[in-house]
Amino acid sequence: MLQVTPNGPYGKDRHPALPIAAGEVLADLRACFAAGAEGVHLHVRDHDGAETLAPEHVNATCEAVRAVAADLGLTVEVGLTTGAWIHPGLAERIAMVREWQGVDCATVNLSEPGYEQLMAAMLDVGIGVDVGLWAPQELPGLLDSGLLPHAQRVSIELDEGEPYFLTGDPLEVAARTNDALDAAGSTCPRLTHGAGPWTWPLVHDAFRRGHDTRVGFEDSTALPDGTTAADNADLVRHAVRIRNETDPAGS
């Protein structure tokens, strides 16, 4: 699966075409789905453009996204974030998530306290858990929780920046992370992606491994050649081209 992540926590200062208002998001996603994206990882915004997990905004947004996909004759995966920075109170976040509708899955970051309770609540209401694994050192805690076998997917999210300031070759870091999951006996589907200059090397690596991956302004505004993308659909088209040129079973 190729997922698009159109906005993240960012604003127009990141890219003038980054979609924030509801109409912008839906128009952007229509173009991305038409270009080949099969899923979306979305940071829902309220009427003022602030990130929110509030059910009234989440549910309306998810319904509208599905309508856009259906108009194109497509069925897409709708995924969200549960980021603690949006609503810091764990109990408040869990209460909101329990009222979500139309959400296939949501990313839960292992770097954020209380992830076990949040994952358990999601499983209780039938929302798929997309484990946000940011570094190999997070894996022992996940294994101890006993929740990995119940996850819909593990998102291997590698970034030179926060929270771990990873260094070295992104492909080597991805290999260590995948090796650790393999050693743990995990057969859970995986999505591998990077941020900034790690984005495109890890897109290639994901397709080579047969993993899901993602592109979008949340991760990078740059195309593989380093030039700035016109919009999110531009990034999707380049990722589709890479997928078409990659043998998923390649050596």
- For the segment 226-250, the average pLDDT, to the nearest whole number, is 90
- For the segment 50-59, the average pLDDT, to the nearest whole number, is 98
**pLDDT tier at 250, thresholds 50, 70, 90:** very low
174's CB contacts (< 8 A; 6+ apart) are: 156, 158, 192, 202, 205
Mean pLDDT computed over every residue of the chain = 95
**Residue 137 DSSP class:** G
**pLDDT tier at 163, thresholds 50, 70, 90:** confident
Q: Walk me through the domains of the chain, giving residue ranges and CATH numbers.
A: 2-245 (3.20.20.70)
| pLDDT surpasses 90 at 165 | no
Question: 88-134: per-residue pLDDT in tens?
Answer: 999 999 999 999 999 999 999 999 999 999 999 999 999 999 999 99
CB atoms within 10 A of CB 66: 16
> How would you class 131 by CB atoms within 10 Å of its CB: exposed for 0-12, middle for 13-18, buried for 19 or more?
buried
**Residue 229 DSSP class:** P
Looking at the chain, the whole-number percentage of residues with pLDDT higher than 70 is: 98
- For the segment 44-68, the average pLDDT, to the nearest whole number, is 98
Question: 136-159: per-residue pLDDT in tens?
Answer: 889 999 999 999 999 999 999 998
pLDDT of residue 247: 65
- Say whether 200 sits in a helix, a strand or coil: helix
Question: 197-227: per-residue pLDDT in tens?
Answer: 999 999 999 999 999 999 999 999 999 999 9
